[in-house]
């Protein structure tokens, strides 16, 4: 199996590459423009005979003979995707167009990394796939949210119009090793702040909720989806239904790191969703998948990872 992973040096992409190269039958092309991804994430894979890194921006077309395409490329943390919003939108829209065209030429399957952000500030809770969302088309999150929505549309239109095999997953908040400590996400921020003895930055009153999925669980769901029967196109939610407020998360991080850090409250970013939790009935039914790692266990592994980075620094 010749497999392309776009965004392969990013958080999810590099964890996925690590999993895929374990099978010697696979040959993995890891594509990344290194905008938010890092070679450090795939350093250990570079010596593998079945792994190849290519520096490339998927906004531009590429030619590779592949059987499967995991399209993970796109900055995903709000500060990162808002830094160059025009490029973010191009990455989602031109990127998936280029990947669907590649799939069409080589009869490959495309798995699109979509997101819970397609639900926006959801008015239905928890969010099932049939919910169409509550998204601001003109706000500061729109370059990401609307880009990902348009990318889903292109997947389904290529499927209906040209018969391209597609798989669309909607990923809810995920965390774990290889997420850049400066990513700006709540778990990477809180853990690194706690380890450095800095104040934990809580946005708003900290009562907004998120559901956090440990990366190994997510990768298992993604690989199952890619290799599921052809008629399973999705969209399928992948995430952990355990729901926590940011205050609860801060408490857990402080407890596990035995940190004396305090909480400091900052303004809530614009369009920040109040509540988010996946309805994963479809993933359970179609893929026999559900997450296994609870937050306290996943956090312990994540803390260990960030501790090792601090020691190396
Ligand atoms: N958040 C926070 N402190 C931080 C970073 C984020 O309180 O240092 C909040 C953020 O406002 C949001 C939640 O944590 O309500 C999750 O944010 P994140 O950026 O991790 O992911 P999002 O779900 O917003 O994409």
Ligand 1 site, residue 185, Cβ cutoff 6 A: yes
Average pLDDT, the chain: 97
Q: How confident is the model at residue 291 (pLDDT cuts 50, 70, 90)?
A: very high
Within 10 angstroms of residue 94's Cβ, the number of other Cβ atoms is 18
- Kindly state the percentage of the chain with pLDDT values over 90: 97
Angle between helices 142-162 and 85-106 (to 10 degrees): 20
* pLDDT at residue 191 greater than cutoff 90: yes
Q: Span 269-295, mean pLDDT?
A: 95
Backbone angles phi, psi at 271, to 5 degrees: 65, 20
Q: Span 213-217, mean pLDDT?
A: 98
Q: How confident is the model at residue 281 (pLDDT cuts 50, 70, 90)?
A: very high
Mutation to probe ligand 1, out of 196, 210, 248, 250 (largest number of atoms < 8 A from CB): 210
Q: What is the pLDDT of residues 83-138, one digit of tens each?
A: 999 999 999 999 999 999 999 999 999 999 999 999 999 999 999 999 999 999 99
Query: In degrees, to the nearest 5, what angle opens at C-alpha 63 toward C-alphas 74 and 114?
Result: 25
Q: What is the pLDDT of residues 72-97, one digit of tens each?
A: 999 999 999 999 999 999 999 999 99
pLDDT of residue 96: 98
Q: What is the pLDDT of residues 30-87, one digit of tens each?
A: 999 999 999 999 999 999 999 999 999 999 999 999 999 999 999 999 999 999 999 9
Backbone angles phi, psi at 176, to 5 degrees: 145, -175
Q: Whose CA is nearest to atom 18 of ligand 1?
A: 185
* Cα 84 to ligand 1 centroid, rounded to whole Å: 19
pLDDT of residue 271: 85
Q: What is the pLDDT of residues 147-188, one digit of tens each?
A: 999 999 999 999 999 999 999 999 999 999 999 999 999 999
pLDDT of residue 311: 85
* pLDDT at residue 238 greater than cutoff 80: yes
CB 132 within 8 A of CB 267: no
Domain borders along the chain are: 2-174+215-241+277-292
CB 252 within 8 A of CB 296: yes
Q: Check if 175 is active-site.
A: no
* Cα 287 to ligand 1 centroid, rounded to whole Å: 29
pLDDT of residue 47: 96
* Cα 272 to ligand 1 centroid, rounded to whole Å: 8
Question: What CATH class is the domain 2-174+215-241+277-292?
Answer: alpha beta
CB 173 within 8 A of CB 276: yes
């Amino acid at each position: 199996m010749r497999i392309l992973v776009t965004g392969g040096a990013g958080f999810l992409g590099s964890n996925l590459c690590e999993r895929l190269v374990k099978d010697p039958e696979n040959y993995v092309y890891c594509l990344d423009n290194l905008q938010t991804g890092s070679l450090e994430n795939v350093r250990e894979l570079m010596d593998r005979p079945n792994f190849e890194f290519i520096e490339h921006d998927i906004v531009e077309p590429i030619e590779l003979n592949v059987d499967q395409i995991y399209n993970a490329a796109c900055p995903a943390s709000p500060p990162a995707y808002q830094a160059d919003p025009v490029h973010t939108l191009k990455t989602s829209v031109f990127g998936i167009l280029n990947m669907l065209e590649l799939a069409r030429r080589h009869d490959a399957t495309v798995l699109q990394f979509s997101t819970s952000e397609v639900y926006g500030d959801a008015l239905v809770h928890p969010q099932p796939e049939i919910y169409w969302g509550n998204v601001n088309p003109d706000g500061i999150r729109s370059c990401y949210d609307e880009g990902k929505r348009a990318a889903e549309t292109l997947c389904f239109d290529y499927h209906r119009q040209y018969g391209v095999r597609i798989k669309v997953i909607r990923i809810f908040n995920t965390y774990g090793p290889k997420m850049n400590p400066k990513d700006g996400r709540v778990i990477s921020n809180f853990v690194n702040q706690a380890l450095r003895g800095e104040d934990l930055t809580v946005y708003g009153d900290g009562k907004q909720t998120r559901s956090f999925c440990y990366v190994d669980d997510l990768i298992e769901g993604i690989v199952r989806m890619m290799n599921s029967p052809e008629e399973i196109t999705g969209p399928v939610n992948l995430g952990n239904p355990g729901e926590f407020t940011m205050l609860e998360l801060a408490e857990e991080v402080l407890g596990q790191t035995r940190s004396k850090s305090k909480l400091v409250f900052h303004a809530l970013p614009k369009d920040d969703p109040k509540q988010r939790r996946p309805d994963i009935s479809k993933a359970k039914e179609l893929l026999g998948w559900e997450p296994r790692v609870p937050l306290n266990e996943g956090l312990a592994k994540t803390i260990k990872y960030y501790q090792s980075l601090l020691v190396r620094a």
